[in-house]
Structure 1
């Protein structure tokens, strides 16, 4: 009898301890501006648990399939333009950023969506001249088909980007118009991105420390654990990788002489089935290229719906070694920079890796605005910057993304194809739960 009673008491005590532990994990931190969670009193308990979670899932998803994920067949399938799924939010995006010690700054991005919709932007900042951009900006929408067929290439209105050697070379061309203020010019750019480095896969190579830091700040409620148990399927639908390299090419503006352009650079490729910018509250992204050949990529993301309200990402790519050194911490906080809806002109922050601490100083030289999404769900400020990192000078590009609620300009949308206008009306009626009978036959 005594033995049975002891067991019952022990089980009850153990259950009470477990219940208290679960309540601790579910406890919410204080929030800055109602968005950014502070490190709560149980952060030090949750951080090592989160770090072990990350390592476990990486072993399961990546380490155990390392040979397959490094095979030529897999990499070739990853590099080419992807076949978009039936999900209307499926996407395939390539972007290139670059700069050199003369102060030239370059950016081109293309995003393929369903029905031949492509979102594209081009910027070239020229010292002593200023910023050139593709003429449709701040709108990025291009329509490459009649809406009944899918696009199979990164091609739209003068843009053309394609791989020529798997994980080694991409061809980049733009042949069309550019604008500077109210002036327009004929413009041609022809370049090659080349690299001998491996790619940096954000799911696989991002420091587990920065992921654990962000996750440990969140409330571990039922929705959180549901996401954790399904993280493998979530990651399979979201791939983002980058590669550091060089862009060598030429450009010609109107009848002016052709200019040779050699840039330190990196590219990114993002593929998935759920690119919903409206779920991202904010992000800031820096691509910096130093005179000694070092490249830095630093990002800060706030996506509360994905339990990443304050995620730091990025790496340092050293000139002498050529490898990627993931950042392990960064004291840049979104609430301190640009929370009022527009970015600051100066930023100073510290980035740490396992090997070294980097003191980053940034000064914006010019800024441009573009809107992303079919309804302009997001507003992006691209800054063209000079920088100093640990005393070494450089140049680069920064991005500040904000939620945007103004909707796409009616003046811009007037020239959209009829089929696209019908789709957007259909989507709005769904979001408002006012599905009209006349749209019942419209499908993706």
Structure 2
């Protein structure tokens, strides 16, 4: 009888131990549990099966994790219809940088009812950093293509650039490394609620490396821009910045022609350590298979480091990245300023090769949107459903 009691107690303890996830680092970052490697295998197989069985012409409702949202680049590139959710999203982002210290960042995110989140930075050596007068606030209001807001500059600035590329698209719905994705998902406690959250939070996102060339004229003085560049396009049912804890992304180009975007995303509702990214060279995009950048050791207090290093693996080769921040303006997104983005213009060294680009770090912000900005919102916005 005693052995039976001991056996039942041991089995009960084993079941409780195996189903209880280990404590999260800093209360945020999940760690592998007892069933971690089995979960890695299960999710890896699921992603592979979805890739193999996906048939073109689908609705896009099940996009992600191996399945495309749109079947052709032409369908991806066009303006996407907004859903009926108040936080529906169709967003584009461009950045550019060069060895001489020129940087350009421009982004627009379309929201319902003509609401736009807009960003513009231009850094010119010897002149300084130019930005929209309203920043760090990014809320703009328009009807169609017409922005109804304060003047876009206090200096007379004209920007005329052309973006071109011979590099392939990188579609995060289908092109991420399956093992890296499986490891990231397997760290999290699984439940029906968890997978429902994965589905609801999903956005389709693709990127492309290229070149940006043209000129910016400031008060009649022209500055020539020849920049290595990255652009992206995101769209989905909604974008809820409140789900995001933080991320650190590194978009770079090097002297020997390598371009890439590599980093870690922490969104506790879905994945607290998503290892993501890819590199491009000679017309080929290669996904990263691992990223060693423990966010909890880098700027968890809201102040990202200005010089640091991390490593990643792509195509079986390890890359060591050193980052040196040149300038770091900040901006906020949302009706409640629910997210804070530190747009760090930086120089890089990747396996000894000199580089340049952006290191964008994001943090969840709880301080709200100051009245000095919200008081100038159009009267009609008071009746909008914002949540």
TM-score by length of 1: 0.77
Residues 225 and 92 (structure 1 numbering): CA distance in 2 closer, same or farther, change over 3 Å?
closer
Q: Is the 8 A contact 2:18 2:33 kept in 1?
A: no
TM-superposed deviation, 1:200:
0.6
Q: Is the 8 A contact 1:382 1:397 kept in 2?
A: yes
Superposition pairs of residues 187-266 of structure 1, within 5 angstroms: 187-226=157-196, 231=199, 238-256=203-221, 258-266=222-230
CA distance in 2, matches of 1:241, 1:22: 42
CA distance in 2, matches of 1:22, 1:98: 53
| Residue number in structure 2 paired with 1:439 | none
| Residue number in structure 1 paired with 2:300 | 339
2:371 paired residue among 386, 410, 415: 410
Deviations 1:318-345 (A, max 9, x none): 2xx2211111001101101110012111
Deviations 1:342-370 (A, max 9, x none): 21111200111123110000011111110
Name whichever of 25-34 and 385-394 sits farther off: 25-34
> Secondary structure in 1 aligned to 2:328?
strand
Residues 102 and 51 (structure 1 numbering): CA distance in 2 closer, same or farther, change over 3 Å?
same
- 2:291 aligned with 1:300: no
Residues 206 and 188 (structure 1 numbering): CA distance in 2 closer, same or farther, change over 3 Å?
same
Q: Is the 8 A contact 1:243 1:268 kept in 2?
A: yes
Q: Is the 8 A contact 1:26 1:221 kept in 2?
A: no
Residues 52 and 409 (structure 1 numbering): CA distance in 2 closer, same or farther, change over 3 Å?
same
Superposition pairs of residues 236-385 of structure 1, within 5 angstroms: 238-256=203-221, 258-306=222-270, 308-318=271-281, 321-385=282-346
Q: Is the 8 A contact 2:122 2:130 kept in 1?
A: yes
Deviations 1:225-276 (A, max 9, x none): 5557xx5xx58x62100011111111101122x1221111111000111200
> Secondary structure in 2 aligned to 1:28?
coil
> Secondary structure in 2 aligned to 1:53?
helix
1:78 paired residue among 76, 79, 96: 76
CA distance in 2, matches of 1:343, 1:208: 29
- 2:20 aligned with 1:27: yes
Superposition pairs of residues 73-222 of structure 1, within 5 angstroms: 74-145=72-143, 151=144, 156=147, 177-178=152-153, 184-222=154-192
Name whichever of 103-112 and 39-48 sits farther off: 39-48
> Secondary structure in 1 aligned to 2:293?
coil
| Residue number in structure 1 paired with 2:56 | 65
Name whichever of 197-206 and 216-225 sits farther off: 216-225
Deviations 1:348-399 (A, max 9, x none): 0011112311000001111111001111111111111111001111111111
Name whichever of 48-57 and 340-349 sits farther off: 48-57
TM-superposed deviation, 1:413:
1.1
TM-superposed deviation, 1:196:
2.4
**Quick check: which one's helix share is greater?**
1
TM-superposed deviation, 1:48:
1.9
Residues 47 and 77 (structure 1 numbering): CA distance in 2 closer, same or farther, change over 3 Å?
closer
Structure 1 unmatched ranges of 5 or more: 1-16, 146-150, 159-175, 179-183, 432-444
Name whichever of 387-396 and 286-295 sits farther off: 286-295
| Residue number in structure 1 paired with 2:38 | 45
TM-superposed deviation, 1:73:
8.3
CA distance in 2, matches of 1:263, 1:358: 23
Residues 67 and 249 (structure 1 numbering): CA distance in 2 closer, same or farther, change over 3 Å?
farther
Alignment RMSD (CA, Å)? 2.8
CA distance in 2, matches of 1:279, 1:205: 24
| Residue number in structure 1 paired with 2:352 | 391
> Secondary structure in 1 aligned to 2:368?
coil
CA distance in 2, matches of 1:299, 1:26: 30
Q: Is the 8 A contact 1:300 1:312 kept in 2?
A: yes
CA distance in 2, matches of 1:241, 1:194: 16
TM-superposed deviation, 1:41:
4.0
Deviations 1:266-305 (A, max 9, x none): 1100011120000111111111111222112012111111
CA distance in 2, matches of 1:66, 1:323: 26
| Residue number in structure 2 paired with 1:9 | none
Residues 66 and 292 (structure 1 numbering): CA distance in 2 closer, same or farther, change over 3 Å?
farther
CA distance in 1, matches of 2:126, 2:148: 28
How many aligned residue pairs are there? 370
Q: Is the 8 A contact 1:100 1:262 kept in 2?
A: yes
